[in-house]
């Protein structure tokens, strides 16, 4: 029994066992491409990590701020387009500058959108994410001369990837992308976890639990919601930069409402309000999608059914499943 007083919402340090597990998972993922040289699985895991990062960014919004975004993939798309356009038109070699441009541009776009959205309250916030998401989708789809319209952005150069002075190889090499994604995703995960476990994260959770009460305590609800939104959008833009490096291509379908529902489902599958659950959810989702899409073209029906099933019977997702089992074992 642990009787030490803890401030609610602010978690204490990690259990050594958990640190060990995390190190083992990292090591396992790190040596994976050198042991199994199957390119298909290397790409699949890269995609899982990129979408895990996106799902984690949505989880920051949904699980901690309690605000729902139907089309968070729009911010992945915007960032990916900007990185791609920068590499094509400005400089085909300066990768870090391109990523910085993508993140900066997404921030500039997300700021006014978030500013309007946090003013309107819970439900309208969710409806507006859909409307703004569709707006970005329409722009990308119809602005043929810049974005390539329906065909997507073609002719991406393959810049060299260097990380902390360590040359990983060209971006056309799946192993280089894999390692790059692994490192960036892990850094983002650690940083986000640190932010969420700080008093700032506690404020976000207070807003999620009761917005009015948080306001009475003297918290500027709109400001914190906007900060939460910006954090989520910046994380999404990082995943966007990784996405275009990994695919070498971006089309409007990545920004569609359908893809947005997929991201939402990753968070649901993993369980809301736990950052690592988002990665588990993304891995499960991408694996299932890969499996079903080879069998049936009516993937929408299954997606809908799985979402309905999850909300009705397993609203806590994979993470909650573990808690259920624990409670079951204790009796």
Partner 1 sequence: MQIHRTGKHIMGGTLGIIVDISLNSLVLSGVFLIVAIGLNIIYGLSRIMNMGHGALYAVGAYTGYTLVATGLNYFAALIIAPIVVGAVGLLIERTIIAPMRKRSMVYTLILTYGLMFFLDGMIKYVWGNKPCFIDLPAFLKGTIPILGTQYPIFRLATLFFIAAIMGGLMLFLNKTKVGIILRASSTIPEMVSCLGINMNYVHMGAFVLGCIMAGVAGIIAGPLTTIDPLMGGEMLISSFVVIVIGGLGSLRGAVIAAILIGFVQTLAEFFITDLAMVIVYILMAVILAFMPRGLLGEGKFE
Residues interacting with partner 1, by CB under 8 A?
Answer: 62, 66, 68, 70, 112-113, 115-116, 119-124, 126-128, 130-132, 134-135, 138-139, 142-143, 257-258, 261, 264, 268, 298-308, 310-312, 315
Torsion of CA 83, 88, 89, 92, to 10 degrees: 90
Q: Least separation, in Å, of the C-beta of 84 and partner 1?
A: 21
In the complex with partner 1, the residue whose CB is nearer, 103 or 259, is 259
Q: Least separation, in Å, of the C-beta of 4 and partner 1?
A: 32
In the complex with partner 1, the residue whose CB is nearer, 36 or 143, is 143
* Of 235, 173, 220, residue with least CA distance to 34: 173
In the complex with partner 1, the residue whose CB is nearer, 161 or 272, is 272
Residue in the structure block whose two tokens are 């984690």: 56
In the complex with partner 1, the residue whose CB is nearer, 134 or 245, is 134
The DSSP-derived string for 243-258 is HHHHHS-B-GGGGSHH
In the complex with partner 1, the residue whose CB is nearer, 10 or 131, is 131
Residue in the structure block whose two tokens are 């204790």: 330
Q: Residues 54, 78: contact at Cβ < 8 Å?
A: no
Paired strand residues for 162: 167
Q: Least separation, in Å, of the C-beta of 319 and partner 1?
A: 16
Q: Least separation, in Å, of the C-beta of 122 and partner 1?
A: 7
For residue 176, count other CB atoms closer than 10 A to its CB.
21
Q: How far apart are CA 96 and CA 91, in angstroms?
A: 11
Q: How far apart are CA 162 and CA 214, in angstroms?
A: 44
Q: Least separation, in Å, of the C-beta of 306 and partner 1?
A: 8
* Of 31, 88, 83, 45, residue with least CA distance to 177: 45
For residue 63, count other CB atoms closer than 10 A to its CB.
24
In the complex with partner 1, the residue whose CB is nearer, 155 or 315, is 315
Q: Least separation, in Å, of the C-beta of 62 and partner 1?
A: 7
């Amino acid at each position: 029994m642990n009787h030490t007083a803890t401030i609610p919402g602010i978690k204490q340090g990690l259990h050594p066992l958990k640190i060990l597990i995390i190190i083992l998972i990292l090591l396992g993922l790190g040596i994976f491409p050198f042991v199994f040289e199957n390119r298909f699985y290397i790409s699949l895991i890269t995609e899982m990590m990129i979408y895990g990062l996106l799902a984690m960014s949505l989880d920051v919004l949904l699980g901690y701020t309690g605000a729902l975004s139907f089309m968070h993939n729009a911010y992945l798309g915007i960032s990916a387009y900007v990185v791609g356009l920068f590499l094509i038109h400005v400089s085909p070699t300066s990768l870090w500058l391109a990523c910085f441009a993508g993140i900066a541009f997404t921030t500039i776009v997300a700021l006014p959108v978030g500013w309007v959205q946090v003013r309107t309250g819970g439900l309208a916030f969710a409806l507006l994410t859909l409307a703004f998401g569709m707006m970005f989708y329409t722009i990308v789809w119809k602005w043929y001369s810049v974005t390539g319209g329906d065909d997507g952005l073609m002719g991406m150069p393959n810049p060299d990837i260097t990380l902390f002075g360590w040359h990983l190889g060209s971006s056309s090499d799946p192993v280089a992308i894999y390692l790059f994604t692994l490192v960036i995703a892990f850094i983002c995960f650690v940083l986000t976890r640190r932010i969420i476990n700080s008093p700032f994260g506690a404020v976000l959770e207070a807003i999620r639990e009761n917005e009015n009460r948080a306001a009475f305590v003297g918290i500027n609800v709109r400001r914190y919601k906007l900060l939460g939104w910006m954090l989520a959008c910046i994380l999404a833009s990082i995943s966007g930069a990784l996405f275009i490096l990994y695919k070498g291509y971006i089309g409007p379908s990545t920004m569609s409402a359908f893809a947005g529902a997929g991201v939402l489902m990753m968070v649901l599958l993993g369980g809301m309000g736990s950052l690592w659950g988002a990665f588990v959810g993304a891995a499960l989702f991408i694996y299932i999608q890969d499996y079903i899409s080879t069998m049936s073209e009516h993937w929408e029906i299954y997606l809908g059914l799985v979402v309905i099933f999850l909300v009705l019977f397993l609203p806590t997702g994979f993470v909650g499943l573990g808690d259920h089992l624990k409670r079951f074992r204790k009796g």
